[in-house]
Amino acid sequence: MKFTDSPVIELPVRTAVLSLQQDNGSLHVGTSVWPCSLVLVKFAERWAPPSRDAQNPYANLLDFHGKRAVELGAGCGAAGMGLYLLGLTDIVLTDIPAVMPALKHNLKRNKPVLGKTVKHAIVHWNKAADQAKSLSPPYDVVVATDVVYIEETVGPLVSTMEALVKETEDLTYRQKIWQSVKCREPKPLAPT
């Protein structure tokens, strides 16, 4: 699986450059760097406040200073490492066992840029309740970019997010949205 033939993707983030190696020959989608993770980092870089007094429409949402995050389905680690460089205090990058070699390789490759070893862990969304405690929740931010390819994984993904995020007034609102999404019947596509 791939979106580019290049085996290495460079991702500039402020004054740093992440170097992400992908495995173009792999059948696992998580061993490729997908555009969504790059776009998220560049959007956050554009709008994340470089200081606490910066004013923009996304300042509160993207102020990562002092916040902990977990990334679900990190793949090659582009989004998590990029957001860490934008101010996250702590992040744990997670994925399934088959993707871990690629993730670990990129974490090691970028350790000089990151300034530390970023934590990583194996997480299966269908075992969220059991695994959440080992990840030391709650987290301020849960990151997931381009992770749903099969409709049946949406429920376990949302359950995993709920097990990891801090409870806030917004969580109740998100739960209501999720309940309304779960209750809707899919509409068949009209023939073209």
Q: Parallel, antiparallel, or unpaired for β 68-71 and 90-95? A: parallel
Evaluate whether 31 touches 103 at the Cβ level (below 8 Å). no
Q: Phi, psi at residue 163, to the nearest 5°?
A: -75, -20
C-alpha to C-alpha distances, 25 to 2, 79, 135, nearest whole angstrom: 8, 22, 31
Residue span of the structural domain in which 39 resides = 9-179
For the ranges 27-31, 53-57, 89-93, which has the lowest average pLDDT? 53-57
pLDDT digits (tens, 9 = 90+) for 62-79: 889 899 999 999 999 999
190: in domain: no
* pTM of the predicted model as reported, rounded to 2 decimal places: 0.84
CATH of the domain at 48: 3.40.50.150
Work out the burial of residue 53: count CB atoms within 10 Å of its CB; fewer than 13 is exposed, 13-18 middle, 19 or more buried: exposed
Q: Is residue 150 part of a domain?
A: yes
Q: Which pLDDT score, from 0 to 100, does residue 149 have?
A: 85
What is the pLDDT averaged over residues 165-169?
A: 71
Strand intervals (E) in the chain: 8-13, 16-21, 68-71, 90-95, 119-122, 141-143
What's the structural domain count of the chain? 1
Tell me the sheet residues that pair with 71.
93, 143
Report if residue 35 sits inside a domain: yes
Q: Pick the range with the lowest mean pLDDT from 17-21, 63-67, 186-190.
A: 186-190
Within 8 A by CB and 6+ apart from 94, the residues are 70, 71, 72, 73, 74, 120, 121, 122, 123, 135
